[in-house]
Structure 1
Amino acid sequence: MTIGAAFSLQNPIDTVVRQAREAHEAGVRSAWFGQTFAYDSPTLAAIVGRDVPGLQVGTAAIPVFGRHPLIVAGQAQTAQAATGGRYHLGLALGTRHLTETGFGIPYERPVARLREFLTALRALVETGSADFHGELLTATTPLPATVPGVDAPVPVLVAAMGPQALRVSGELADGILPLLAGPRALAEHIVPAVTAAAEAAGRPSPRIVAFVPGVVTDDVERVRERATEALSFYERFPSYQRVIELSGATRAVGVAAIGDEETVAAEVRRYREAGATEVVFTATDLGGEADQRRTWQLLGELAKG
């Protein structure tokens, strides 16, 4: 199982690079970066991947609203070339509030947009060209769209958890990036749905990259309080409310892995048994630098075993 960590976007680039290097030296195999209205995630991933040889890097995840497949394909292929084939592109539906408030774009037919975006994007990253004319977007290449130095197509994953998004992702993507989906939700709902869709489309078994808030710490009560506050942001959105409930929890913190090494390692095993092919820990900084390094150390040990 590949074990990774997501990194905060609240730090300067040099700090992010240093943290990613420390995590990789501890044995962490992959580093993932969110997409906000600040950092450009593929650029940040390319910088980190180039400065930390051997580390897999990824974006989790770029909303399809407010972007175009031609632009995203260029960003992803540039990061892939810069890192020698170690970049992984994550896409997302985003949310109505952020889409309409930030971009002024109506949040309409998100799953249909995702399908068209993936269809055009796959052509671009696999062949370097596209001639796609859909209901919601057009992507054609009157000029070449291949980046020199890209020897393999960029893996494309989707932060999908709902039934329709899982179906589209199974048909058109290489895997999914579920966040706050506990082992129960994965095993009973998410993994069967995306796997069945991939099989029906004649595609390989999808990657299941589970994003899990997790910290190794002795101060469990303090870290859990901080996690409760930090993760409450997600509880505003129906998609996360649903997957948290399917996980058997009432709050987002209910799916967090917080405790000593034995406790957290047991949680990682539960995700593996539920069908996760990879686990990425988020929110590792909630306990402070010492706990963060301790978390990376455990993740590195689990990656070896």
Structure 2
Amino acid sequence: MTVGVTLDTTGNDLLIDDAVRQAREARACGLTSLWFGQTLGYDSPTLAALIGREVPDIQVGSSALPVFGRHPLLVASQAQTAQAATGGRYNLGLALGTKLFTEGAFGLPFERPVARLREFLTVLRQLLETGHTDYEGELITARTPKPATVPGAEPTVPVLVAAMGPQALRVTGRLADGILPYLAGPRALEEHIVPELTRAAEEAGRPAPRVVAFVPGVVTQRPDALRAKVYEAFAFYNQIPSYARVIELSGHSHAADLAVVGDEKDLTETVRRYRDAGATDVVVSGSELDGDDARLRTWEVLGELA
């Protein structure tokens, strides 16, 4: 099992030099992977490429690019560029997104998301594996008049999907390399998500998929105060049907119940529970919630598990 963290790029005050410094700190703590969310600020694949170039012995990844508002031809170019820049250490994460953001921000109808994911992955895999595609589906058309390749972009970029629902898991198991579940606890992974994903991969003759579990967590000396902050910050996840479902399957009623806010033992035991439930990788997010000292202590604890 590999252990990594996310780098918080959602604020407006993190300079690229600061991000590089934090990435070096993460590697010095023993962490093996670093992931970057996609917001309306930093472009995740670009930042991953820059940081992966500066910190040459850590895996980097995007978590995750929504398939709405993007075309697989362009995403393949982004991913291969990041792969070439990092010497084969880039992981591409994709997501369906949400109806609220897709329609509110992009102005696009959030229609047939699983069908779009299937077509997107079909085209993307052709491009990453062969450099060619001639595809005309119901939702996506993609053709390459010449090879769509980037020198040095080997091996093939791993493609992971933030899939947790049954239909998305089946598509992902057949066409991608693994998943990026968030707020899916050990029970949901072991009893629902991993079996569905694994079965789909086996039926398609694909290798055992990766399960990169994203877990909010921080080692703190003031757990009660911070837990109240987490409950407030995570409340909106309860209103999103896909998250509400997986939170319930995890045996909880609130998204914040999946966050680890406690001491070193709490975090260590939680990571091990995810491993035992089928996670091949664990990525902890939110370690910056209690300042730099807590962030570094959290990373040190995780580094001992990596």
2:27 matches 1:29: no
Matched residue, 2:189: 186
**1:21 Cα deviation from its structure 2 partner:** 1.0
Provide the rounded CA distance (Å) in 2 between the counterparts of 1:149 and 1:203.
25
Matched residue, 1:3: 3
Please point out which of 285, 288, 291 is paired with 1:288: 291
Secondary structure in structure 2 of the residue aligned to 1:89 = strand
Matched residue, 1:231: 234
**1:225 Cα deviation from its structure 2 partner:** 1.5
For structure 1, the 5+ residue unaligned runs are: none
2:73 matches 1:70: yes
CA RMSD of aligned residues (A): 0.8
Displaced runs of 4 or more, over 4 A: none
Provide the rounded CA distance (Å) in 1 between the counterparts of 2:68 and 2:164.
18
Matched residue, 1:128: 131
Deviation readout 1:137-196 (Å, 9 max, x if unpaired): 011100221001112100000000000000000000000000000001101110000001
Matched residue, 1:220: 223
**1:230 Cα deviation from its structure 2 partner:** 2.0
Provide the rounded CA distance (Å) in 2 between the counterparts of 1:168 and 1:217.
39
Matched residue, 2:305: 302
Matched residue, 1:138: 141
Provide the rounded CA distance (Å) in 1 between the counterparts of 2:24 and 2:261.
23
TM-score by length of 1: 0.98
Matched residue, 1:161: 164
For structure 2, the 5+ residue unaligned runs are: none
**1:236 Cα deviation from its structure 2 partner:** 2.2
Secondary structure in structure 2 of the residue aligned to 1:178 = coil
TM-score by length of 2: 0.98
Secondary structure in structure 2 of the residue aligned to 1:208 = strand
Matched residue, 2:214: 211
Matched residue, 1:58: 61
Deviation readout 1:56-89 (Å, 9 max, x if unpaired): 0000000000000000000000000000000000
Provide the rounded CA distance (Å) in 2 between the counterparts of 1:51 and 1:232.
36
Instruction: Read off the aligned partner of 1:295 and give its amino acid letter.
Output: T
Instruction: Read off the aligned partner of 2:64 and give its amino acid letter.
Output: A
Deviation readout 1:202-254 (Å, 9 max, x if unpaired): 10110000000010112111221121122223222100011111111111110
Matched residue, 1:198: 201
Task: Give percent identity, aligned residues only.
Answer: 65
Instruction: Read off the aligned partner of 2:267 and give its amino acid letter.
Output: V
Instruction: Read off the aligned partner of 1:279 and give its amino acid letter.
Output: V
Instruction: Read off the aligned partner of 2:8 and give its amino acid letter.
Output: S
Secondary structure in structure 2 of the residue aligned to 1:285 = helix
Matched residue, 1:110: 113
Provide the rounded CA distance (Å) in 1 between the counterparts of 2:42 and 2:293.
26
